[in-house]
Amino acid sequence: MALPGSRPVRAARGTELTARSWQTEAPLRMFHNNLDPEVAERPDDLVVYGGTGRAARSWEAFDAITAELTGLADDETLLVQSGKPVGVLRTNPWAPRVLLANSNLVGDWANWPEFRRLEAEGLTMYGQMTAGSWIYIGTQGILQGTFETFAAVAAKRFGGTLAGTLTLTGGCGGMGGAQPLAVTLNGGVCLIVDVDETRLRRRAGKRYLDRVETDLDAALAAVLTAKEERRALSVGVVGNAAEVFPELLRRGVAIDIVTDQTSAHDPLSYLPVGIGVEEWHDCAAADAEEFTRRARESMAAHVAAMVGFQDAGAEVFDYGNSIRDEARQGGFERAFAFPGFVPAYIRPLFCEGLGPFRWVALSGDPKDIEVTDRAMLELFPENEHLRRWITAAQEHVEFEGLPARICWLGYGDRAKAGVRFNELVASGEISAPIVIGRDHLDSGSVASPYRETEAMIDGSDAIADWPLLNALTAASSGATWVSIHHGGGVGIGRSIHAGQVGVADGTALAAEKLQRLLTNDPALGVMRHVDAGYARAAEVAAERGVRVPIAA
Amino acid sequence: MALPGSRPVRAARGTELTARSWQTEAPLRMFHNNLDPEVAERPDDLVVYGGTGRAARSWEAFDAITAELTGLADDETLLVQSGKPVGVLRTNPWAPRVLLANSNLVGDWANWPEFRRLEAEGLTMYGQMTAGSWIYIGTQGILQGTFETFAAVAAKRFGGTLAGTLTLTGGCGGMGGAQPLAVTLNGGVCLIVDVDETRLRRRAGKRYLDRVETDLDAALAAVLTAKEERRALSVGVVGNAAEVFPELLRRGVAIDIVTDQTSAHDPLSYLPVGIGVEEWHDCAAADAEEFTRRARESMAAHVAAMVGFQDAGAEVFDYGNSIRDEARQGGFERAFAFPGFVPAYIRPLFCEGLGPFRWVALSGDPKDIEVTDRAMLELFPENEHLRRWITAAQEHVEFEGLPARICWLGYGDRAKAGVRFNELVASGEISAPIVIGRDHLDSGSVASPYRETEAMIDGSDAIADWPLLNALTAASSGATWVSIHHGGGVGIGRSIHAGQVGVADGTALAAEKLQRLLTNDPALGVMRHVDAGYARAAEVAAERGVRVPIAA
Ligand SMILES: NC(=O)c1ccc[n+]([C@@H]2O[C@H](COP(=O)([O-])OP(=O)(O)OC[C@H]3O[C@@H](n4cnc5c(N)ncnc54)[C@H](O)[C@@H]3O)[C@@H](O)[C@H]2O)c1
Ligand SMILES: NC(=O)c1ccc[n+]([C@@H]2O[C@H](COP(=O)([O-])OP(=O)(O)OC[C@H]3O[C@@H](n4cnc5c(N)ncnc54)[C@H](O)[C@@H]3O)[C@@H](O)[C@H]2O)c1
């Protein structure tokens, strides 16, 4: 059932303004772009992605936001409270044009029942990370994030490439389906197990997966040959991970990396051994409790095999699906023997202020992104990793909504890229302004003890001062819109995070703003990790001149 | 036991800079002033007020903050994370010079045990409201807040004055002792009951209380005559409120207003009927459980009398000491028959953006405050209420630390006052810049379901987007320092709130900043109450031009 007032939305294209300047045209187009049917999961309900992550609270709020942005002056600021516009203020030209706070609740009330009560009363909405902050860019983010994780695995353990390595994983669904391509883009070989052949076939159709096999021996022969030849290859094999993983362990197959993205976080979405794909939903519906018990039992076998591979020397990690805790409940005691992916691979990147930098061409013209892609490769010629990703993205990514690009950049490089984009807009090489933002999942912008700040070395996982300082910093450094959200990714009560977006409109003021914004924003990431005592962050701060008053 | 590195601190005085400009001298002096022994409760421990509300995390952090503020340029910003300086950034001249986030925790971890664990590890500190945000000004705030509450009672029910009314209350302690003076300043008669004669005598000595009586009949005769003659008078009577209140009800004394500030929130601090003051602490220590039972039984009798007065037509309210809930636990079912003071009196003020405006003379010269006092009376000649307060404050308030003044001002008037102070600094009539801030307890800056946002008409008590938007707005409107805190007033897990301070340094830029900051900050209060559906707020918005896109 669509919300009242629903209609198809698509951002304006081209070089003509529909608002009073590009500083307001930018949030207006990005707000609309988030609801483009190519981008949003359920646009009629204003849902962009991630469960119920919305761009506006109601269609009435949608209309009012659109009207206000259309008329807003360059020294005015629109306030948005959980998807509803609540005020317009006179501020100053350096201030953000839009300030957003979404889904925030006082601690003792920060739980799903209270949130849902307030949502049902029309008093709040769930903003996720980039839905309510108008900088979601579709599925490119998933591919790039997975690519980046496997690149980090390569950097940590295999000399910077996965060439000559074999990765075993499970789950080829909406998110997990990015794994085989992410592995091959890093030069490696991937064997991915899914119970549902149709999920494997869908990915093979889109070139995300090279081959599908129903026979394990055939699949194994293919991946082992490719590994031997140091040739990138991905093979999907139909089977239950809780049977295939232990079988491969028993056979002593030389597997280098093991992870999993079956949807283990919800036991009814994980198929237990002994139940066929056709019977799955009926069985789960008939007796959810018994199904859960059997799913956890299977997950225990699945995770036991993963720990077995780890004992045999493989690199093993949890990829954010909670399978460790489910296996523990299924009776396997050593389930937490391997780490989550953030402490294992992403934190070292965070120490350098590295994180998901993204930009969008407001013109709607894919040629503008081509120009930025080229500019990136020219700016960072020594960055082989970046070249591999940009080349792969050009080949594999179909734009959804306004053309966009994402890549991970660290402290220093983000500002360089932003200033360069602004020059290209000024010179006319890019036809209209570029919007530059990022995910809330970044090095200094989120407190989330079950994910981004899991297992900080100083135990500061739950300290939430950092995302708030991050948002205040963005508002003080020339961002065009700034957001503070609660509960993105891991749910209500479990995270606080901030976002910022700047606009390269080709003006001198934009150049100054981008220089400071894109320096200061990742600086918070470096500072947060210096403060926690990470040696690499202290090195980065010292080398690149990040000013930290007290050493950890 | 003092923290390592402790020493006496006092803000610099006079017109010579110790930092690079007044924009950084101001936070530096105010930071030091918060720790002045005249101002802070336990300066050696960096504790300013309110339990363990601190100005800095450690003396090492104190030194580092002092050093950074001394050297900071006017386009740089210092970040402070729970009392520790964690970074310095290049921002812009409109941006705050200091951004502070104190005591913030992710929701599921927002409880005292986790907070205390992190505090013991040296990873956080408790910022209270104005301790960690460097704008506490001593006990003047308590007197003014109580004055304001009684003024609001007068406005709501007695035509704007308490002349000819009799107020009955209990508890003449640290905070409650401001009640008799607050009532007489509003022209009324106050009878205050305390079991401890020494508490009454101490206040009488300071002219906060006109007379002390040990005999109820004598006390009654005095207050009834004064009421008859419409003469302001306060009388303290020694007795147990749980006996005196019911006795006065039985006698049918014509009491107009009833409240209470015995320390009922902690049953061991409330003396039950039948126990003498001398035996109090021994009894409580010997059997805390039995003492609690008896205290609650007495509170039930005490609150039953309050409800009795209400039934007889009196104005009755809870003054933030939780006595209603204790009486309910003591077996009295109608304990919540009367409201808390915020929904009853303060919310209508919040609807006008009224709240605790305060300012400090950085020179240290009391003459500068005299000049501002005069300016206020000239600016708002029609505001009789303000005149009464300023006159009273001049007579009764002794400055603690740097000379300061507080008064409640609403939307529109705050900006007028700020701009006027800046002119007086520019013209030299005031000898050095004036700092202008406020408490976090304000109309649009706090989410606190047990106090400031109790019983919002739309049920939005726990929505915490507003204080975050408030802080982002301040950072976007020219504030010199901005803070976001968690847990002030009502404790960890129960509140999120924001603060801002501006500096009138006599420059044209400061005038522009103050105009916007002091317009936008209370605008958030009006907007928050328009959004919740308060008719008065909608009127204020319409009359004074506060721009709210969607009516509630
Ligand atoms: N790393 C992160 O930050 C992150 C982000 C988003 C989601 N996730 C988690 O990743 C998981 C996968 O997400 P998705 O969107 O791909 O889910 P999905 O439901 O689209 O796909 C899950 C796949 O697992 C398969 N499967 C189920 N049981 C199986 C079994 N026993 N053996 C083999 N295959 C089995 C299903 O057939 C399906 O194809 C979820 O748990 C999700 O919460 C992690
Ligand atoms: N309104 C607010 O926002 C607000 C702010 C701060 C504190 N408070 C609350 O106000 C209360 C008082 O604070 P305080 O700082 O004055 O406390 P305090 O402990 O200094 O004073 C309490 C007084 O109550 C007297 N008392 C105790 N039992 C009595 C009885 N049975 N009959 C008569 N007198 C009795 C004591 O002798 C003492 O003088 C506390 O509960 C506090 O939490 C409210």
**A116, A39: one domain:** yes
> C-alpha distances in angstroms, B260 versus B139, B181, B242, B263?
19, 15, 11, 9
Cα–Cα distance, B513 to B499 (Å, whole number): 16
Cα–Cα distance, A479 to A476 (Å, whole number): 8
The answer to whether residue B486 sits within a structural domain is yes
Cα–Cα distance, A351 to A358 (Å, whole number): 19
Mean pLDDT of B432-449: 97
Q: Inter-chain contact B465–A64, Cβ cutoff 8 Å?
A: no
- Per DSSP, the three-state class of A285 is helix
Task: Examine the fold and report which residue of A333, A357, A392 is the final residue of a domain before the chain moves on.
Answer: A333
Residue among B86, B112, B445 with most chain A CBs within 10 A, to mutate = B86
The answer to whether residue A172 sits within a structural domain is yes
The answer to whether residue B516 sits within a structural domain is yes
pLDDT for the residue numbered B151: 94
The answer to whether residue A126 sits within a structural domain is no
DSSP state, B397? P
Task: Tell whether the model's pLDDT for residue B482 goes beyond 90.
Answer: yes
Mean pLDDT of A278-290: 94
CA of B266 to the centre of ligand 2 (A): 9
Task: Tell whether the model's pLDDT for residue A53 goes beyond 90.
Answer: yes
DSSP secondary structure string, A430-468?
Answer: SSS-EEEEE-S-STTSEE-TTTTTTT-TTS-TTB-HHHH
Minimal CA separation from A502 to chain B, in Å: 14
Residue B483 near chain A (CB below 8 Å): no
Minimal CA separation from A225 to chain B, in Å: 49
**B307, B355: one domain:** no
Q: How many domains does chain A have?
A: 3
Torsion of the alpha carbons at B434, B440, B441 and B444, rounded to the nearest 10? 100
Task: Tell whether the model's pLDDT for residue A1 goes beyond 80.
Answer: no
The answer to whether residue B429 sits within a structural domain is yes
Give phi and psi for A485, each to the nearest 5: -125, 165
The answer to whether residue A132 sits within a structural domain is no
Burial tier of B526 (Cβ tally within 10 Å: 0-12, 13-18, 19+): buried
Residue A329 near chain B (CB below 8 Å): no
Contact B104, A463 (CB under 8 A): yes
**Which residues, in sequence order, are CB contacts of A286 under 8 Å at separation 6+?**
none
Mean pLDDT of A3-11: 95
Q: Which of A99, A460, A462 sits opposite B469 (nearest CB)?
A: A99
- What are B234's strand-pairing partners? B190
Residue A320 beta carbon below 6 angstroms from any ligand 1 atom: yes
pLDDT for the residue numbered B64: 98
pLDDT for the residue numbered B211: 97
**B395, B326: one domain:** no
**B325, B395: one domain:** no
pLDDT in tens, A499-513: 999 999 999 999 999
Task: Examine the fold and report which residue of B306, B333, B360 is the final residue of a domain before the chain moves on.
Answer: B333
- What are B235's strand-pairing partners? B191, B211
Residue A457 near chain B (CB below 8 Å): no
Task: Tell whether the model's pLDDT for residue A63 goes beyond 90.
Answer: yes
Name the B residues in 504-523 with CB < 8 Å from any A CB. 512, 516, 519-520, 523
Name the A residues in 434-453 with CB < 8 Å from any B CB. 447-449
Q: Inter-chain contact B472–A472, Cβ cutoff 8 Å?
A: yes
pLDDT in tens, B46-73: 999 888 999 999 999 999 999 999 999 9
pLDDT in tens, A79-123: 999 999 999 999 999 999 999 999 999 999 999 899 999 999 999
**A462, A368: one domain:** yes
Name the A residues in 51-80 with CB < 8 Å from any B CB. 60-61, 64-65, 67-68, 77-79
Considering only CB atoms, which chain A residues are within 8 Å of B476?
A: 77, 89, 91-92, 95-96, 99, 475
Q: Shortest CA distance to A321 belongs to which of A241, A259, A265, A240?
A: A265
Task: Tell whether the model's pLDDT for residue A551 goes beyond 80.
Answer: no
Measured between its terminal Cα atoms, the distance across chain B in Å is 53
pLDDT for the residue numbered A552: 65
Task: Tell whether the model's pLDDT for residue A51 goes beyond 90.
Answer: no
Q: Inter-chain contact B469–A101, Cβ cutoff 8 Å?
A: yes
**B391, B351: one domain:** yes
Cα–Cα distance, B95 to B481 (Å, whole number): 9
Task: Examine the fold and report which residue of A333, A356, A383 is the final residue of a domain before the chain moves on.
Answer: A333
Give phi and psi for B118, each to the nearest 5: -65, -35
- What are B446's strand-pairing partners? B497
Residue A492 near chain B (CB below 8 Å): yes
- Per DSSP, the three-state class of A479 is coil
Residue A175 beta carbon below 6 angstroms from any ligand 1 atom: yes
**A402, A506: one domain:** yes
Residue nearest (by alpha carbon) to ligand 1 atom 18:
A173
Residue B187 beta carbon below 6 angstroms from any ligand 2 atom: no
Task: Tell whether the model's pLDDT for residue B309 goes beyond 90.
Answer: yes
pLDDT in tens, B232-255: 999 999 999 999 999 999 999 999
**B216, B356: one domain:** no
> C-alpha distances in angstroms, B66 versus A202, A526, B26, B334, B362?
61, 23, 12, 53, 16
Minimal CA separation from A370 to chain B, in Å: 32
Minimal CA separation from A256 to chain B, in Å: 36
Q: Shortest CA distance to A147 belongs to which of A393, A445, A418, A453?
A: A393
Q: Which residue has the higher pLDDT, A552 or A267?
A: A267
Number of other residues whose CB lies within 10 A of the CB of residue B539: 14
**A235, A370: one domain:** no
Residue A436 beta carbon below 6 angstroms from any ligand 1 atom: no
Contact B253, B282 (CB under 8 A): no
- Residue numbers of the domain that contains B205: 142-333
Q: Which residue has the higher pLDDT, B207 or B358?
A: B358
**A259, A400: one domain:** no
> C-alpha distances in angstroms, A541 versus A33, A303, A417, B84, B88?
37, 39, 20, 17, 12
Residue A541 near chain B (CB below 8 Å): no
pLDDT in tens, A371-422: 999 999 999 999 998 999 999 999 989 899 999 999 999 999 999 999 999 9
Minimal CA separation from A63 to chain B, in Å: 10
Residue nearest (by alpha carbon) to ligand 1 atom 27:
A270
* Domain containing residue B456: CATH number: 3.40.1770.10
**Which residues, in sequence order, are CB contacts of A471 under 8 Å at separation 6+?**
A445, A482, A483, A484, A498, A499, A500, B468, B472
Secondary structure element (H or E) that encloses residue A250, with its range: helix A241-251
Residue B316 near chain A (CB below 8 Å): no
Task: Tell whether the model's pLDDT for residue A249 goes beyond 90.
Answer: yes
The answer to whether residue B465 sits within a structural domain is yes
pLDDT in tens, B96-121: 999 999 999 999 999 989 999 999 99
Residue A199 beta carbon below 6 angstroms from any ligand 1 atom: yes
Give phi and psi for A333, each to the nearest 5: -75, -30
Task: Tell whether the model's pLDDT for residue B1 goes beyond 70.
Answer: no
Residue A128 beta carbon below 6 angstroms from any ligand 1 atom: no
Q: Which long-range contacts (CB under 8 A, 24 or more apart) does B423-427 make?
A: B423/B506, B423/B511, B424/B371, B424/B372, B424/B375, B425/B504, B425/B505, B425/B506, B426/B506, B426/B507, B427/B506
Task: Tell whether the model's pLDDT for residue A213 goes beyond 90.
Answer: yes
Secondary structure element (H or E) that encloses residue A167, with its range: strand A166-170
**Which residues, in sequence order, are CB contacts of B251 under 8 Å at separation 6+?**
none
Mean pLDDT of A465-494: 96
CA of A186 to the centre of ligand 2 (A): 67
Contact A214, A268 (CB under 8 A): no
**A171, A302: one domain:** yes
**Chain mean pLDDT for chain A:** 96
Task: Tell whether the model's pLDDT for residue B552 goes beyond 70.
Answer: no
* Domain containing residue A229: CATH number: 3.40.50.10730
Residue A43 beta carbon below 6 angstroms from any ligand 1 atom: no
The answer to whether residue A14 sits within a structural domain is no
Share of chain B above pLDDT 70, in %: 100
Q: What b/e string do you get for B410-438 counting C-beta neighbours within 10 Å, with b at 16 or more?
A: bbbbbbbbbbbbbebbbeeebbbbbbbbb
Closest ligand 2 atom, CA of B193?
33
pLDDT band at A458 (very low <50, low <70, confident <90, very high): very high
Residue A174 beta carbon below 6 angstroms from any ligand 1 atom: yes
Q: Inter-chain contact A77–B476, Cβ cutoff 8 Å?
A: yes
pLDDT in tens, B250-308: 999 999 999 999 989 888 999 999 999 999 999 999 999 999 999 999 999 999 999 99
**Which residues, in sequence order, are CB contacts of B15 under 8 Å at separation 6+?**
B363, B431, B432
Mean pLDDT of A475-497: 95
Q: Which of A86, A528, A550 sits opposite B527 (nearest CB)?
A: A86
**A114, A145: one domain:** no
